[in-house]
Amino acid sequence: MTRVLRTPIFAANWKLNHGPTDARAFMQRFLQQVPRVDDRSLLIFPSALSLAAVVDAIKDRPDVIVGVQQVHTESLGAFTGENSVVIARDAGARAVLVGHSERRHLFGETDEATGRKMRLALDARLIPMLCVGETLAEREAGATEHVVLRQLEAGLSALSVAEVSQVVLAYEPVWAIGTGRTATPADASAIHGVLRGALRSRAGDRAGHIPICYGGSVNRGNVAELLAAPDVDGVLVGGASLDADGWSAIVRTEVAH
């Protein structure tokens, strides 16, 4: 059983930034600085409106995977304004973020919706990256493990054991996203270990091959020590992925394993 993605994983979430013009300029500069890699996975999640620009830029770079940040709970139909797994795949996407905290907390994405989206993503042959993470209030109430395990179970609820081994997880504490506050490597590792344990009870030995990324104010200064922590198989990065030079430096990080 091999991993779905080679680790470490470096995933850039551009959120609502970089239109097609900026995306083209970013990709040109990024691809110049980062020659083809085979010892790590590189993912970029642009705005859906910039997907075509990124897909075009990576046509000679099979080592770079592009994904969408959000999809609807139905594949096709009368859902004005939504993105679809089927259309995303047709447009060149190979991955999708599911349950990002901004979707959960700003747009009301429910646990149930994440389960449905994970199912649709695998049906459409997209790699789903399921994001889980607790708010500051939940952390202070000692509920971190309960929250991330609930989100994990809901996200995986419609998947078979074999399918569970095709997903990628991202632990993103909400209090660390875009705030400049990062979980310590030990804190991240502890929660990743809890997630790994839950994956093991669902998927047995295959759980060891499911990548678990950390996200939340990752930058050039802290990425190496986070990636060196046990059970941290990659990073999902928002703010620090927006600058092509900075992101190039991050994805070239030496990883001690």
By the rule CB under 6 A, 216 interacts with ligand PEP: yes
**CA distances (Å), 155 to each of 130, 206, 235, in order?**
7, 17, 19
Site string for ligand PEP, 140-159 (x = CB under 6 A): --------------------
Site string for ligand PEP, 2-21 (x = CB under 6 A): -----------x-x------
Nearest to 226, CA basis, from 189, 174, 195, 191? 189
For ligand PEP, give the closer residue by CB, 53 or 237.
237
Examine the residue annotation and report whether 225 is marked as an active-site residue of this protein.
no
| Cβ-contact 123, 162 below 8 angstroms | no
Q: Which of 18, 72, 100, 192 is catalytic?
A: 100
Looking only at the bridges linking them, the beta strands covering 9-13 and 64-68 are unpaired
Return all residues near 156 (Cβ < 8 A) that are at least 6 apart.
115, 118, 130, 164, 167, 202
> Considering only residues 31-50, where is the footprint of ligand PEP by CB under 6 A?
none
For ligand PEP, give the closer residue by CB, 178 or 204.
178
How many chain residues are in contact with ligand PEP, going by CB under 6 A?
14
Beta-bridge partner residues of 127:
95
Quote the least distance from Cβ 148 to ligand PEP, whole Å. 15
By the rule CB under 6 A, 67 interacts with ligand PEP: no
For ligand PEP, give the closer residue by CB, 178 or 193.
178
By the rule CB under 6 A, 130 interacts with ligand PEP: no
Site string for ligand PEP, 160-189 (x = CB under 6 A): ------------x----xx-----------
Q: Name residue 126's amino acid.
A: L
Examine the residue annotation and report whether 105 is marked as an active-site residue of this protein.
no
Query: What's the sign of the alpha-carbon dihedral 211, 27, 72, 88?
Result: negative
Quote the least distance from Cβ 105 to ligand PEP, whole Å. 12
Catalytic residues: 100, 172
